[in-house]
Amino acid sequence: MHELRKDPLLGRWVAVVSDSKSPDDYRFPTEETKETSCVLCPGREEETPPEIVAVREGDKWWTRVIPNFRPILHVEGDLGRKGLGMYDKMNSVGANEIIIDSPEHNRQPEDMGVEQVLRIIRLYRDRVADLEKDQRLRYILIFKNSGKGAGAAYSHPHSEVMATPIIPKLIKEELDGAKQYYAYKERCIFCDIMREELRVGERVIFETRDFFIFSPFAPKFPFESWIVPKRHGCAFQDITDSEMEDLSLMLFTVLKKMRRVLGDSPYNYVIHTAPNRIPRRNHWHTLGDDFHWHIEIMPRLVMMSGFEWGSDFYVLTTSPEDAAKYLREA
């Protein structure tokens, strides 16, 4: 089994796989080939791990959820927390799932219409709600890697679910920042950001009945945008049916706008939601008040340099105000 190790200086966890790669395993082809089919396509279901859930109409499936072919985290087993001298480690218990976003190999959900995007969002909600029941798990992250430049393992449209026995460092920093702001002002920082952005307007891309999308004041990446629900809530899985319909329209529209402005550039999006409160229910005293779930969309337009990697200090080659203007007008 793989293992999780904790960095004692920064407090972050990393996964160390049991079957280490050799240097030759990191040499990739210089030319990218355009696939027309793959193991995630219809007709090859017997070649994938056993299906977890799917959305079907008759004999046709619209989207499927399967375990990852080579999972970093495994559902089986216990955490096995232990010390190794001054270091801490545990077994890589969790979940690592692939959500196949489209039955068509070279067609993204937004190209199939709003209804397909809605099917995907419903699956996102259902997977979080199901995995939250496992008391070994502390955090559930849903994300999409689109394109090799964004880390996609397959060219077929897909998203992924990673459920971890720890709260990842970046998420914990966001939770702590929101909690500190609430302790000082007794207001949700995300709600305050939303009010300020809607008041100023120059970084707002567009808004719907239940959501708004904007370019953050100080993002990490050019053309980064955030989708924030107008109704305060800390947990994505608490989204209502009408909000899911509205979010589908929001995500459908912004992905279309991004393609018009940026072409087929690789991108990631992630859903930041509340951690699993079941194992430590009494620990999260103000989480329902201070945190606000949201989606972060990050086009991968520039390569990170040693400065960014070494300092966590980012250089933006397009201002958030200009990025919002380009996307707003697309």
Q: Residue 17 has what pLDDT?
A: 83
| Confidence category of residue 3, pLDDT binned at 50, 70, 90 | confident
Domain 3-14+35-329 bears CATH identifier 3.90.320.10: no
Average pLDDT over residues 261-288: 84
Q: Residue 5 has what pLDDT?
A: 83
Our CA dihedral for 239, 242, 246, 247, rounded to 10 degrees, sits at 20
In sequence order, what DSSP letters do the residues of 254-294 get, joined into one string?
HHHHHHHHH-S--EEEEEE-PPP-STTGGG-SSHHHH---E
Q: Residue 280 has what pLDDT?
A: 60
Q: How far is 53 from 278, CA to CA, in rounded Å?
A: 24
Mean pLDDT, the chain, as a whole number? Answer: 91
Counted residue by residue, the chain has a size of: 330
Q: Residue 205 has what pLDDT?
A: 97
| Confidence category of residue 16, pLDDT binned at 50, 70, 90 | confident
The yes-or-no verdict on residue 15 having pLDDT over 90 is: no
The residues, any chain, with a CB within 8 Å of residue 205's CB and separated by 6 or more, are: 213, 214, 215, 225, 254, 257, 324, 327, 328
Residues catalogued as catalytic: 158
The yes-or-no verdict on residue 309 having pLDDT over 70 is: yes
Q: Residue 277 has what pLDDT?
A: 73
Q: How far is 142 from 162, CA to CA, in rounded Å?
A: 7
Question: Rounded to the nearest 5°, which phi and psi values hold at 144?
Answer: -130, 130
The residues, any chain, with a CB within 8 Å of residue 218's CB and separated by 6 or more, are: 320
Query: Domain extents for the chain?
Result: 3-14+35-329
- Residue % of the chain over a pLDDT of 90: 76
Instruction: For residue 288, give the nearest of 226, 217, 238 by alpha carbon.
Output: 238
